[in-house]
Amino acid sequence: MSVTAADGFEAAGVAVGLKSSGNLDVAVVVNRGPLKVGAAVFTSNRAKANPILWSQQAVQDGVVEAVVLNSGGANCFTGSFGFQTTHQTAEKAAELLGVGSADILICSTGLIGTGDEVFRAKVLDGTERAIAAASADGGDAASLAIMTTDSKPKRSVVTQGGWTIGGMAKGAGMLAPGLATMLVVITTDAVLDASDADAALRRATSVTFDRLDSDGCMSTNDQVTLMVSGASGVRPARDDFADALTQVCLELATQLQGDAEGASHDISIEVVHAASEPDAVEVGRSVARNNLFKAAIFGNDPNWGRVLAAIGTTAAQFDPYDVDVWMNGVRVCSGGGPDASRDDVDLTPRSTRILIDLKVGDASATILTNDLTHDYVHENSAYAT
Amino acid sequence: MSVTAADGFEAAGVAVGLKSSGNLDVAVVVNRGPLKVGAAVFTSNRAKANPILWSQQAVQDGVVEAVVLNSGGANCFTGSFGFQTTHQTAEKAAELLGVGSADILICSTGLIGTGDEVFRAKVLDGTERAIAAASADGGDAASLAIMTTDSKPKRSVVTQGGWTIGGMAKGAGMLAPGLATMLVVITTDAVLDASDADAALRRATSVTFDRLDSDGCMSTNDQVTLMVSGASGVRPARDDFADALTQVCLELATQLQGDAEGASHDISIEVVHAASEPDAVEVGRSVARNNLFKAAIFGNDPNWGRVLAAIGTTAAQFDPYDVDVWMNGVRVCSGGGPDASRDDVDLTPRSTRILIDLKVGDASATILTNDLTHDYVHENSAYAT
């Protein structure tokens, strides 16, 4: 049910030919209230797609009536024509819903540079058809319509204390922090004001989507939107809501990791006893972005030297000659030298756990990443063609 | 001839079984004077191999009598036993040459974590045999003995005004700045004092090896050594020497790029009209490290959106919507939108030129990199096994 699991929301997914496969490619999520609160976080890439430029402005007042999303084209680096397409999409949705266009968010995903007249006509057509089709059980269709190279839809629902949070996500590559390459819409019928919604969303994404780094590549189109209908009539404690929202975000982030393009291992890099949380994140991310490490994991090769070479490039506090490294529960390196034999490490399971003990403090962080595989190279060498 | 092209040097390469192939694996380069000047630059990785820890100290006084190099094991993260191996190697060479061990530099390359008793015995044996074999025509053998996954030796010689610079390099992966993963020894019979040698070496490497970034992975064992015999009796003008040294470094860097593991394209990323040289380097490096861009080039796909997405992650001065991108001479993006058709771009040649015009200043820089290929993944998933 994803985005229609919470009361007060309608959604739909329709097919208008943006995808050559004929699959669903335009989605809407409409907030039927009573509250119309919204919050969103965006890619930190300075090269931002037109929908991002629009939505960043539109969300400022904390009011979101609906989100229109399309796959099959990123509408990024498509010039002023592309921005007008986004603007016209918002106006079309606003007109059909009887609201202001500044309360409509837009998301696009697909090939950068795609956004011509044909694209515009299909998106406008899809917006009209999706709003006409929107219903309280349209969440699953919406989650299918935002898929690109995803092999399956990503959905998560948490219900507690009389209120519900549900979400959908898409993303299978270009997954890197700030944010991972993704479109995510999360809805809730809990009662929240705009500042609480914004704070909860930033807190949840900072420890989930922002720590997913499948390939070090940051997208131009990332957007995570939280929509609040208040239809449950229940105002949860601030921490309860933030915790539940973090859970939904983590479940979606884990699903994104598990479906990353071409990956054969889901790698969790846990850094413990760091001097600070930013240190732990820096160390984890440096390993997550090391192609030699990632290729070794693909080859089921416990090449811990590449872990140490990667963390040696960071500015984090630690003694390079007093770091322990564990791979799937086996301590392969300790005190600056080899420990257990490489032969003791079984890297054949898809789920792979790297534990790095920096031995200097009490902070920790976990980065989620994937291995570097032939299939990753294949998919990404043939994407546009 | 590489390191024995200049007068006053002897070299050798011998085989002691560090490589399972039986190929040459220990090299020496001996300075027969009259000067014994030396300078070296090292990896900026905080995780440094034992030979780096040793050589950094040994080169401090600007005197280098000889360099002993081995392939078949990095002697990195091998604990105090590994450091003692390096120390014993220097003492062995010093004793045989009748000099002080603090004037012997050591370089090792191969798998991190390799450095046990067997390794030590072979390296000591190789040191003795190589010094016994050293001759004025041993440069070629030395350049073969330092190869690891290299498919061919890398050599360069420049002669002018009565003096010569010659060099050898090894490196085929883990090529990233500060320095690229490499061992390089450069010799000259020009007359230079230690501070001039050091300054010229730093200037030359900063615009050559430091701008080679094949896979974003920084080694633990990088070392570039310059040895000065003064045997020509000619003291060149400072700029003349620095220019010639830069030429030798650039030729060796280009040979390293051309032999990078699994690569099918040699990519030159030229950034022009940047506000500063560091900005130009940051932008070029960000593109060079973007796996999606690198995979697209492998697929002969002029996916310029990935170039813009990569530069959007930098802090360099520019307007993301007013950048021009050229691929092999075709302007595929200008003013924040598509320009010439993708179909006009021919990416089939191995030599690939990306030109990025930031349109804000007068600085420029060129980064050398490679594409991300199936063969890169294959070679690096199977390295240790």
Reply yes or no on whether the pLDDT at B210 is more than 70: yes
Q: Cβ contacts (< 8 Å) between B298 and chain A: which residues?
A: 377, 381
| Beta-carbon separation of B47 and A312 below 8 A | yes
Pick from B67, B71, B66, B64: which is nearest to B26 by CA?
B71
CA of A213, closest CA in chain B: separation in Å? 12
Interface check B273 vs A, CB under 8 A: no
Cα A77 to Cα B133: distance, rounded to the nearest angstrom = 62
Q: Cβ contacts (< 8 Å) between B292 and chain A: which residues?
A: 173-174, 215, 217, 380
- Do B28 and B54 share a domain, yes or no? yes
Dump pLDDT digits (tens) for B303-350.
888 898 888 888 899 998 899 999 999 999 998 788 898 899 999 999
Cα B199 to Cα A189: distance, rounded to the nearest angstrom = 67
Residue contacts between A and B (CB atoms, under 8 Å): 203
| Beta-carbon separation of A46 and B217 below 8 A | no
Q: Is the pLDDT higher at A337 or at B64? A: B64
We report the CATH number of the domain holding residue B270 as 3.10.20.340
Q: What is the pLDDT of residue A209?
A: 84
Residue B1 — pLDDT band, cuts 50, 70, 90?
confident
Distances (CA, A) of A116 to A26, A75, A77: 16, 9, 11
pTM: 0.76
Residue B172 — pLDDT band, cuts 50, 70, 90?
low
Q: Active site includes B246?
A: no
Q: Residue window 149-208, chain B: list those with CB within 8 Å of chain A.
A: 173-174
Q: What is the pLDDT of residue A181?
A: 55
- Do B103 and B22 share a domain, yes or no? yes
Residue B175 — pLDDT band, cuts 50, 70, 90?
very low
Q: What is the pLDDT of residue A177?
A: 42
Reply yes or no on whether the pLDDT at B71 is more than 80: yes
Reply yes or no on whether the pLDDT at B78 is more than 90: no
Dump pLDDT digits (tens) for B233-246.
999 999 999 999 99
| Beta-carbon separation of B336 and A312 below 8 A | no
Nearest to A313 among B45, B321, B338 (CB): B45
- Do A321 and A298 share a domain, yes or no? yes
| Beta-carbon separation of B381 and A337 below 8 A | no
- Do A242 and A294 share a domain, yes or no? no
- Do B104 and B165 share a domain, yes or no? yes
- Do B218 and B283 share a domain, yes or no? no
- Do B111 and B19 share a domain, yes or no? yes
- Do B62 and B100 share a domain, yes or no? yes
Reply yes or no on whether the pLDDT at B174 is more than 60: no
Domain of B371, in residue numbers: 266-381
φ/ψ (deg, to 5) at A338? -65, 145
Q: What is the pLDDT of residue A215?
A: 67
- Do B68 and B195 share a domain, yes or no? yes
Reply yes or no on whether the pLDDT at B181 is more than 60: no
Q: What is the dihedral of CA B49, B52, B57, B61, to 10 degrees?
A: 180
We report the CATH number of the domain holding residue A82 as 3.60.70.12
Give the tokens for residue B70: 């081995």
| Beta-carbon separation of B384 and A296 below 8 A | yes
| Beta-carbon separation of B77 and A337 below 8 A | yes
| Beta-carbon separation of B48 and A301 below 8 A | no
CA of B116, closest CA in chain A: separation in Å? 10
**How deeply is B335 buried, as exposed, middle or buried, from its count of CB atoms within 10 A (0-12, 13-18, 19+)?**
middle
CA of A66, closest CA in chain B: separation in Å? 27
Residue of B nearest to A74 (CA): B305
Interface check B342 vs A, CB under 8 A: yes
In this structure, chain A runs to a length of 385
Q: Which residues of chain A have pLDDT under 70?
A: 172-181, 214-218, 383-385
| Beta-carbon separation of B112 and A215 below 8 A | no
Dump pLDDT digits (tens) for A226-251.
999 999 999 999 999 999 999 998 88
Q: Is the pLDDT higher at A384 or at B292? A: B292
Q: Cβ contacts (< 8 Å) between A304 and chain B: which residues?
A: 112-113
Residues A241, A246, A247: CA angle, nearest 5 degrees: 100
**Number of CB atoms found within 10 A of residue A138's CB:** 26
- Do B280 and B202 share a domain, yes or no? no
Dump pLDDT digits (tens) for B94-139.
999 999 999 999 999 888 888 899 999 999 999 999 999 999 999 9
Mean pLDDT over the full length of chain A: 89
The secondary structure element, H or E, covering residue A158 is strand A154-160
Residue of A nearest to B299 (CA): A381
Q: What is the pLDDT of residue B178?
A: 40
- Do B136 and B225 share a domain, yes or no? yes
Dump pLDDT digits (tens) for A195-230.
999 999 989 988 888 777 766 666 777 788 899 999
Looking at this predicted complex, what is its ipTM?
0.71
- Do A244 and A273 share a domain, yes or no? no
Q: What is the pLDDT of residue A257?
A: 82
